[in-house]
Each structure stands twice: as structure tokens, then as C-alpha cells.
Amino acid sequence: MYALLEQAEVAPWVLHMPKGMDLTDDQFFEFCVLNPELLRIERTAEGEILIMSPTGARGSHQNSQITMQLALWAERDGTGVAFDSNGGFTLPNNAMRSPDAAWVARHRLISFTEEETEKFLPLCPDFVVELRSRSDRLADQKQKKDGRVHQQRSASRLADRAL
Amino acid sequence: MEEYISNGALLGWLIEPFERQVFVYRPGQPTQQVERPASIDAGPELPRFVLDLTKIWEPEI
């Protein structure tokens, strides 16, 4: 578990799913419920499961500022509902994402049953906020580095071919 | 953020606290980059929602 979190601090841990073994939305929800110690789970459109580390204290505090202001506005405005960073949404492309803050117009929510609203909502929010964190930056730097290594390898392969 | 917009979101903000930048995403429009704003307005999609960024740029911890 510690090793996993250490890894996740750098970049999301990606679980690749074999072809034909993609989880249904309900199975994926159950997977998340059965693994509460994996605090932040998302799913890509391709069915890969991403496991991310919890946010650091500063990022969490900054996020609470955003959530608070959005929730206060939504309460006053009344035309929709605000969500915090724990909310999961199943997008039309089948990805499941948890934006840091989100808002959905009320008319889009009335058709859902109480049971459905206890799971990840099968819609894309009207408004999303993402707050970049230290681990996002580390992940980007790693991706850039990996990209560079990949480019260098491609370049050396081209060079080999040219010889 | 592109994924939310292509899946139907009307407005997206990517807040970059280290550089004090906000990237604003709307469908069919190029991403708008705002440098060091004190606040940012979500209208017309979310009328009169203005996010005060003071405590995001200068958090208490």
C-alpha cells in the first residue's frame, strides 16, 4: 500500500484491463466501494483505471475555497447543484472523472432516482473546475521526461537505420 | 479539461496556483489564458458566479 501511494504521488497508477474484461458502470462502482483505501479513482474512456494519491494539505485547503464559493453561489442561485472533488461522473465517452468542483443544472438531475444519485452520475457536469496540484506537476514532468526518452530512442533508432 | 468540454461541459476552468493562471475552456472556442486574475467571472453560463482567487493565490498554509 505504501509503495503504491509513493508511486501514485508521482503519477496516477494505471491498471490496464484485458480486452473484453471491461467493467460495467455498476461493477466499476462496486470496485470503488470495495477499495475505499484507494481514495481517488478515475476511469479513462479506454477503460484503464487510474489510482491517484490524496491531495496535499495546501491543495485541499485551496480546493475547499473553490467548493465553498461555488456551493454558496449555487445555493443563492437555485438553478443547479454544486459538487465537491469526491463526486464521480460517468461521461458519455464512458470515462469516469472526478473534477475538483462541479455544477449541474437542476433540470438535468430531476430524472434520476434516489438510488441513481447514490452512484456516479451518468452525465458530464455543465461546469467543472480543476485545480492543478503538486502531484499533477510531477506527473507532467515525468510525462515530459518519458516523452523525451521516447523521442531520444526514436531518434537513435532513426540514426541506426541511417548507418 | 478538453475531455469535459467534448463530453458536453459548457465551461471549464483549469486553475494553476503555481503560476497564478486560469485557463478558460468553452466549446467551440480557443482556450483563454488569464494571468494573475484577482477573481474570475463564470458568466454567462453561471450568471453572477464570480470566484475570488485571493485565497487560492495566497493560501493560509
ipTM of the complex: 0.98
Measure the CA–CA gap between A83 and A120, rounded to whole angstroms.
12
Q: Which band of pLDDT confidence, cut at 50, 70 and 90, is reported for residue A1?
A: very low
What are all long-range contacts of A34-37, with beta carbons under 8 Å and residues at least 24 apart?
A37/A1
Higher pLDDT, A28 or A130: A130
DSSP track, chain A: -HHHHHHHHHS-EEEPPPTT-PPPHHHHHHHHHH-TTS-EEEE-TTS-EEEEPPPPHHHHHHHHHHHHHHHHHHHHH-SEEEE-TT--EE-TTS-EE--SEEEEEGGGTTTS-HHHHTS-BSS--SEEEEE--HHHHHHHHHHHHHHHHHHHHHHHHHHHHH-
Closest residue in B to A82 (Cα–Cα): B46
Q: Which chain B residues are Cβ-neighbours of A98 within 8 angstroms?
A: none
Interface contact B18-A137, CB threshold 8 A: yes
How many structural domains is chain B composed of? 1
Q: Which of A95, A123, A131 sits opposite B17 (nearest CB)?
A: A131
Measure the CA–CA gap between A89 and A125, rounded to whole angstroms.
8
pLDDT digits (tens, 9 = 90+) for A92-140: 999 999 999 999 999 999 999 999 999 999 999 999 999 998 767 666 6
Interface contact B14-A123, CB threshold 8 A: no
Interface contact B48-A65, CB threshold 8 A: no
Which residues does B51 contact at the CB level (< 8 Å), separation at least 6?
A66, A69, A70, B13, B39, B40, B42
For chain B, give the percent of residues with pLDDT over 70.
Answer: 100
Interface contact A126-B11, CB threshold 8 A: yes
Which residues does B22 contact at the CB level (< 8 Å), separation at least 6?
B13, B14, B15, B16, B33, B34, B37, B40, B53
pLDDT digits (tens, 9 = 90+) for A146-155: 655 555 555 5
Which of A73, A83, A107, A123 best tests the B interface by mutation, with the highest count of B CBs <10 A?
Answer: A73
**Cell numbers placing A154:** 526514436
Structural domain boundaries, residue B14 = 2-57
Q: Which CATH architecture has domain A2-131?
A: Alpha-Beta Complex (3.90)
- Give the global pTM: 0.83
pLDDT digits (tens, 9 = 90+) for A38-85: 768 999 999 999 988 777 889 999 999 999 999 999 999 999 999 999
